[in-house]
Amino acid sequence: MSTSARPRVLLTGGSIAGPTLAWGLHRAGFAVTVLERSPARRDAGQNIDVRGLGREVLRRTGLQDAVMARLTGEVGTRFVDEAGRVVAEVTATAGRDGTTAEVEILRGDLSALLLDAVDGDVEVRYGDAVTSVDQDATGVDVTTASGARERYDLLLVAEGRSSRTRRHLFADRTRVVDKGVNIAYGTIDREEQDDDWWYWMTTSGRRTVSVRPDPLGTLRASLNFMTPDVGFDGLPVAAQLQVLRARFGDVGWRVQRVLEGFAQRPEEFYTERMAQVVVSRWSTGRVALVGDAAWGSGPTGMGTTLSLVGAHVLAGELGRTLSESGVTHGEAFARYERLLRRYVDSAQGLPPGTPGLMHPRSDRGVRVLHRGMRIALAPALRRFAEKTVITSQRHEPALPEYPGLRG
């Protein structure tokens, strides 16, 4: 570390893991700068959930009450057929996290709460990004797209799953596992007959549709379809909407509403390719990864939770380099990974056949899937399905107590 009173840390990424990490590092005694590629706060985004240890991190940061006041209001999950008939349903239950977790919040809302928590304590720069990194035994030299060249004690990367900084520094340690699904997200108008259930509809042709409530008087929707990677997520928006109309034009239920809604709100429409990021080691020298940049977990229901927990542990372990004699950043990075590696790896361990099982090819496959849902969500099997099929919440570590990291 530098000899200054507050070692300098550059943190890239301003969504979930980044602000959580910035909050902890500031309290631990670091001078933190957050670099966010977007020109302003990203208010858009879909419904996300916080489970298990993620709830404990919210309690420690003092944000639990604020988060609970901004929930989406989702009352449970209904799996429906193309006619809108309910095939199986699960009501949200206090104290339990099923398909609908106890904490369901918009990504933009959670990110805003986390950023507000560091406002005035941490420098946040928007519209800039790292373009090159050179490190030595005493620090990290960083050049950004704006032309700035600065030196920091540490560089921490809390970017998204397609992190450019990770690709530059960890290319030889990174494996991206394609899951074969294109996802299109957007916001649509809410109508009088709509309610607060999350609806999930599966139809033939490897297609699914999701519609969820939000607290803003609209609905959040997604259209998913399985194909080889043909570059759908890289097309212009107009071309993506044209592909979706061709793919889903014959589907009933609410699909036409979704297609029209996506076109009406192009500023809230975005796509991604479902994939998992596997990095063999999360740090190199004075640089470390956290959140989706380190372990983009794919369709596990654990992405937000892992981001919160990972950021909290990394901040706590780096705090030990300032509060305990002889602890180095390398030892902090190593302990961070030892504490979380098994937890993260298990969260990435999807059930065999996933996500193909949720995207059947034929009408017969859809009927088989519906029968399986009714069985899995029956009271006798529900808890097992929630822990092993719906999400993967195994091998939770004992979260260390970091005295300074309390809100």
Residue 49 tokens, joined: 């959930």
3-state SS class at 112: helix
| Pairing, β 86-91 against β 207-213 | unpaired
> Are 261 and 189 spatial neighbours (Cβ–Cβ below 8 Å)?
yes
The count of residues in the chain is 407
Residue found by looking up tokens 């977790």 in the block: 101
Q: Which residues contact 371 (CB under 8 A, 6 or more apart)?
A: none
Consecutive H or E run containing 382: helix 382-385
Q: Tell whether omega for the bond before 403 is within 30 degrees of 0, i.e. cis.
A: no
**CA dist list (Å): 381 to 377, 388, 391:** 6, 11, 14
Instruction: Provide the pLDDT for residue 95.
Output: 67
Instruction: Provide the pLDDT for residue 389.
Output: 57
Listed residue (163, 264, 198, 260) closest to 47, CA to CA: 198
> Are 275 and 298 spatial neighbours (Cβ–Cβ below 8 Å)?
yes
Amino acid type, 106: L
Question: How far apart, in whole angstroms, are the C-alpha atoms of residue 110 and residue 23?
Answer: 14
Question: How far apart, in whole angstroms, are the C-alpha atoms of residue 127 and residue 148?
Answer: 13
- What are residue 189's DSSP bridge partners? 218
Rounded to the nearest angstrom, the gap between the alpha carbon of residue 263 and the centroid of all alpha carbons in its chain is 25
- Report DSSP letters for 174-218, one per residue: EEEEEEEEEEEEEEEE--TT--SEEEEEEETTTEEEEEEE-TTSE
Rounded to the nearest angstrom, the gap between the alpha carbon of residue 32 and the centroid of all alpha carbons in its chain is 22
**Residue burial 333-363, b: 16+ Cβ < 10 Å; e: rest:** bebbbebbeebbeebbbbeeeebebbbbeee
In tens digits, the chain (407 residues) has pLDDT values of: 544 579 999 999 999 999 999 999 999 999 999 999 999 988 778 999 999 999 999 999 999 999 999 999 999 999 999 999 999 998 887 766 777 888 999 999 999 999 999 999 999 999 999 999 999 999 999 999 999 999 999 999 999 999 999 999 999 999 999 999 999 999 999 999 999 999 999 999 999 999 999 999 999 999 999 999 999 999 999 999 999 999 999 999 999 999 999 999 999 999 999 999 999 999 999 999 999 999 987 767 789 999 999 999 999 999 999 999 999 999 999 999 999 999 999 888 776 677 888 899 999 999 999 998 888 888 776 666 666 555 566 789 999 999 999 98
pTM for this prediction: 0.93
Question: How far apart, in whole angstroms, are the C-alpha atoms of residue 159 and residue 361?
Answer: 35
Q: Which residues contact 362 (CB under 8 A, 6 or more apart)?
A: 204
**CA dist list (Å): 165 to 37, 152, 162:** 11, 16, 9
